[in-house]
Structure 1
Amino acid sequence: MKVLVAGASGALGRPLIRRLRDAGHEVWGLAHRPDSLKTIERLGAHPLKGDALNRDNIFEIVERIRPEVVIDQLTSLPASPFDLPKSLPADCRLRLEGGGNLFEAARTFKVQRYVQQLSGFYLDGEDGLATEASPLRINAPGTIGESARMYTALEKRGSSAQEMEGVGLRYGFFYGPGTWYWPDGAFSRHLFKGEVSLIGKGSSTFSFIHVDDAAQATVAALTAPAGLYNVVDSQPTKMSEWLPAYARWIGSDAPPRFDEQEAFHLLGKESVYFQTRLTGACNRKALQILGLSPQRLAWLGV
């Protein structure tokens, strides 16, 4: 199968290319920077230099390659999660406008299937774990709400082309090599510096996913029934449990604690919401249909 991966050199793109190649697919990787193109070539895929924000460029590429499947992993994320607020406008523009160009090109040139990266961590599970029927938290404060509205638009776009099969993969918080949540990642560096705190009861539930497990599920999505899938691990864990365990795992001191009122004044409404209101996601559908077999979180039990 001929597969075009946009955003192919990122933390997920690298293991995804390897798994696609191992499965016998012909892989084309779209990127903009020269170092990213070298990475794609080194992994055994065909590198494609392109700019998703240039509509004519993207249409030319898709018309020339004529892929059977397009996997949209376009992101413009910062090196540190602390920089998300200032980077979010560029990220939204790339995913909505750049991804929109890619989506329209795929539809124009009769791509059979479009696989879209989505969010499995800003879902509203109300009093339980979120399912594929759960909405995103579009009314949440700050960047959480902004991101949720962006992902809602992506979900709506993905289901809009009746002539093209749409698969939406709602990934959990990525961890593993090249991500924020790894011993050499940005989140760990902030913990070592004492810049991460635990707020209130830390009652938010997080659903993570290792990038290699996410890559496996993405390859399976090439032939699975169209629709939404929550691609998350099987250990939804409260912030009050996983954050201290993570600190022990990397050898950091335990994070300082603030009550909610104190954190509201020092860190803002969004930080309090992030640590006290999130719900994890249920992965039952991905287990059954995508064959997802997520590894256990490395830091739990430490």
Structure 2
Amino acid sequence: MKILLAGASGAVGRPLIARLLREGHEVWGMVRRAENLPVIQALGASPVEGDALDRAGMFALLDRVRPDVVIDQLTSLPSSPFDLAQRLPADRVLRLEGGGNLHDAARAVGVRRYIQQSCGFYLKGEGGLATEESPLRTDAPGGIGESARMYEALEKRVLSDGVMEGVALRYGFFYGPRTWYWPDGAFSLHVRKGEVPVIGVGRGMFSFIHVDDAAQATAAALRRLGEEAVYYQNDLSGASNQRARSFLGLEPKNTPWLEEI
């Protein structure tokens, strides 16, 4: 399949590119900054520069690439979690408005499946572990509630599209290379400096996922198209009508029915 990965240079994007290529997909990696294009090329994907907030640019890019699947990993997060509150407004704009442009452009060019990054750590567990049926904590205070409402809007957009098949993947907190939660990550640095206090009795439970595992789960979401759907799209051979033309005088009409849809 041809896949457009938005946010391709991020902590999840890089291992995801490697996994998708190993599985035989054609991968186009979209990045906002030109200096990240060589990174995508070095990983083996086709690099493409694009700003999701540029609506016309998104439509032009999707029309040029014409992917089968779009994976939306758009984020605008700071290098340190201590700066998250200041960055959240820009992050919400990118994911809601920029992601909306990407989603609309994907729909316009006939993308079959849209995979959306969502959140598995702002869920209401009701005294236990949250499940896929658990609602997001939209009534939580401050930035948590704002982020939960953002994720709720993202999930609603992708799951109620009605044209593209939508998937929302509720990831945990990412840990691994190029994340906050790694030996050389920003959170570890703050811990070493004694800047991360335990508040109250510290009963909160954090759900983490390694970026490699997140990449594996995302790639698996592509395979869940169903065997028959994959077969139809990739393995049907078609049949020649030459014999019917020669012996039966068949003159099939050349009616471009697709243009009528």
TM > 0.5: yes
Match of 1:99 in 2: 99
Match of 2:148 in 1: 148
Give the number of aligned pairs: 226
The C-alpha deviation readout for 1:24-74, integer Å capped at 9, x for no partner, is 000000011122111111100000011100000000010111100000000
2:52 maps to 1:22:
no
The residue matched to 1:88 in structure 2 has which SS? helix
Task: Give, in angstroms, the shift of residue 133 of structure 1.
Answer: 1.0
* Runs of 5+ consecutive residues of structure 1 not aligned to the other structure: 227-302
Match of 1:123 in 2: 123
Letter in structure 1 aligned against 2:60: E
The residue matched to 1:152 in structure 2 has which SS? helix
The C-alpha deviation readout for 1:170-190, integer Å capped at 9, x for no partner, is 000000000000000000111
Match of 1:73 in 2: 73
Letter in structure 2 aligned against 1:216: Q
Alignment of 1:220-299 (within 5 A): 220-224=220-224
Task: Give, in angstroms, the shift of residue 205 of structure 1.
Answer: 1.1
| Distance in 1 of aligned mates of 2:78 and 2:90 | 10
Task: Give, in angstroms, the shift of residue 163 of structure 1.
Answer: 1.4
Task: Give, in angstroms, the shift of residue 5 of structure 1.
Answer: 0.1
The residue matched to 2:222 in structure 1 has which SS? coil
Task: Give, in angstroms, the shift of residue 84 of structure 1.
Answer: 0.6
The C-alpha deviation readout for 1:252-286, integer Å capped at 9, x for no partner, is xxxxxxxxxxxxxxxxxxxxxxxxxxxxxxxxxxx
The C-alpha deviation readout for 1:84-124, integer Å capped at 9, x for no partner, is 11000100000000000000011111100000000010011
* Runs of 5+ consecutive residues of structure 2 not aligned to the other structure: 227-261
The residue matched to 1:77 in structure 2 has which SS? coil
Letter in structure 1 aligned against 2:52: A
Moved over 6 A (4+): none
Match of 1:90 in 2: 90
2:22 maps to 1:2:
no
Match of 1:204 in 2: 204
| Distance in 1 of aligned mates of 2:204 and 2:225 | 31
Match of 2:34 in 1: 34
The residue matched to 1:70 in structure 2 has which SS? strand
Query: TM-score under structure 1 normalisation?
Result: 0.74
Match of 1:277 in 2: none
Match of 1:234 in 2: none
| Distance in 1 of aligned mates of 2:214 and 2:206 | 16
Letter in structure 2 aligned against 1:174: F
Task: Give, in angstroms, the shift of residue 206 of structure 1.
Answer: 1.2
The C-alpha deviation readout for 1:214-235, integer Å capped at 9, x for no partner, is 0000000012269xxxxxxxxx
Letter in structure 2 aligned against 1:24: G
Provide the aligned C-alpha RMSD in A. 1.0
Match of 2:171 in 1: 171
| Distance in 2 of aligned mates of 1:148 and 1:123 | 8
Letter in structure 2 aligned against 1:52: A
The residue matched to 2:3 in structure 1 has which SS? strand
Query: TM-score under structure 2 normalisation?
Result: 0.85
Match of 1:270 in 2: none
| Distance in 2 of aligned mates of 1:48 and 1:225 | 26
Alignment of 1:109-120 (within 5 A): 109-120=109-120
The C-alpha deviation readout for 1:201-221, integer Å capped at 9, x for no partner, is 111111100000000000000
